[in-house]
Structure 1
Amino acid sequence: MCGRYVVSQNADDLAEEFGVDRIDVRERLEPDWNVAPSKQVYAVVTRPDRGAAEEDEPRRRLTTVRWGLVPSWAKDPSIGNRLINARVETAAEKPAFRRAFAARRCLVPAEGFYEWRGEKKGKKQPFFIHPRDGMLAMAGLYEIWRDPTRSDDDPEAFRWTMVILTTDAVDELGEIHDRMPMLVEQERWQAWLDPDNSDSSELMDLLAPAVPGVLDVYPVSTEVNKATNNGPHLLEPVEL
């Protein structure tokens, strides 16, 4: 699974990195070296402007979403606490994810992610996994949940949430954890974000697993284990 990751870049840098047309955020997020589920995070989506004419092209934008997907049909938003990852093998068919997979896909920017090795009852050892150059574009799905307790003009009436797609881990990564995030390479961003593309087979072909050789892996402090700990020191390598 992907349970924590790192994004220390600001919105302007991410907008340039991901070629967005518009930064569409209510508030800019602070650098975060220990992004955990339920936090507000940056995501790249392609959507038409609100009130745009039908013939207007959707635009790529950087927005904020909450990590933990709440399906549009959910009665209770707390379901998002459990839906932080989606198995790519079944996401196109699962009721919680299939609508989003068909039309609401996103990129989740990350400088790297953490995985843990060890027994659940013991003190698990975190590892930081990151690209040698540039950013990761993790494959995600997003949903917009309407809060029935709020009026339409309430800024909190529509809750944007996301889930990260995962697959079986391979090679060295598989020795740390059995799942890892799916990635989208830059030349495939446009096709993945295209809301008019709902061909599940074609969409699956756009995804790539995170693989050793492209990514570096090293152990970091167990401070990462506590979600409230934060700061660039969390990325410092440790001796095992």
Structure 2
Amino acid sequence: MCGRYTLLAEEAEILKEFGITSHIEGFQPRFNIAPGQKVVAVIDDGKQRRAGFMKWGLVPSWSKEPKAGYKMINARSETAHEKPSYKKLMSQKRCLIIADGFYEWKKTDNGKQPVRIQPAGRSLFAFAGLWDRWEGEDESLFTCTILTQEANEFMRPIHNRMPVILPRKKQNQWIEPVKWAPHKAKDFVEQLTMEDLTYYEVSDYVNSPKNMGEECIQPLV
């Protein structure tokens, strides 16, 4: 799964990396992004590629109320094309969720040890995401979820699931403003080449989403 991550880059770096021309209003680097919070996501409607904030935790457009989002922070890429909550989104509401590292908790003899995981060859990257818009009487919510897949050999000792990290050359294709058959999105993910990852141990300070300081990413000595 993916339940916590970081985005420490400057706004200008994000705009350049993902081909965004407009300002991301309210953007600030963050050390401990948690479910229920607003996250930076990129979509392309065919006229403009835009980056903005969505709430992490998907609320399907047909939900009676927005509470569903607390349970839908991740979606399994292997089955999302079959699920009512995700099927349509796999077809036409795919997004990039921008990050530069994510946390996982590795089981050890002394309990769970938090680690920060990053691609070995780059800093900024994008999770494969799905998004939707929910309309209530008094509010409109843009929400998203991160696709996950079975852990690769590197991740398996840490966790049995991992987020889908899009290779740089595949990011544009994932959000192209073209309607796909839902199973095409599933096949697209399955055919991705996983890049090498690296990790280091961090303090259990990161365990609480209330802790948002630089101490979250400091390596253990």
TM-score, normalization by structure 1: 0.84
How far apart are the structure 2 equivalents of 1:94 and 1:131? 30
Unmatched 5+ residue regions in structure 2? none
Partner deviation per Cα, 1:96-116 (whole Å, 9 max, x = no partner): 111111111001111110011
User: Could you tell me which residue of structure 2 aligns to residue 176 of structure 1?
Assistant: 158
Per-residue deviation at 1:162? 0.4
User: Could you tell me which residue of structure 1 aligns to residue 7 of structure 2?
Assistant: 7
CA RMSD of aligned residues (A): 1.9
How far apart are the structure 2 equivalents of 1:6 and 1:17? 17
Letter in 2 for 1:32: R
Letter in 1 for 2:17: E
How far apart are the structure 2 equivalents of 1:206 and 1:71? 23
Identity %: 36
How far apart are the structure 1 equivalents of 2:12 and 2:52? 12
How many residues matched? 217
Letter in 2 for 1:165: L
Letter in 1 for 2:41: A
User: Could you tell me which residue of structure 1 aligns to residue 67 of structure 2?
Assistant: 78
Pairing 1:62-211 to 2, within 5 Å after superposition:
62-118=51-107, 123-132=111-120, 133-148=122-137, 150=138, 157-207=139-189, 208=192, 211=195
Unmatched 5+ residue regions in structure 1? 48-56, 151-156
How far apart are the structure 1 equivalents of 2:174 and 2:210? 33
Q: Provide the secondary structure at the position in 2 that maps to 1:172.
A: coil
How far apart are the structure 1 equivalents of 2:71 and 2:183? 26
Per-residue deviation at 1:235? 1.5
Q: Provide the secondary structure at the position in 1 that maps to 2:156.
A: helix
Q: Provide the secondary structure at the position in 2 that maps to 1:173.
A: coil
Letter in 1 for 2:116: F
How far apart are the structure 2 equivalents of 1:124 and 1:203? 34
How far apart are the structure 2 equivalents of 1:100 and 1:115? 26
Per-residue deviation at 1:201? 4.1
Letter in 1 for 2:13: D
Verify the 8 A CA contact 1:188 1:206 in the aligned structure 2: no
Note if 1:22 corresponds to 2:22.
Answer: yes
Q: Provide the secondary structure at the position in 2 that maps to 1:196.
A: coil
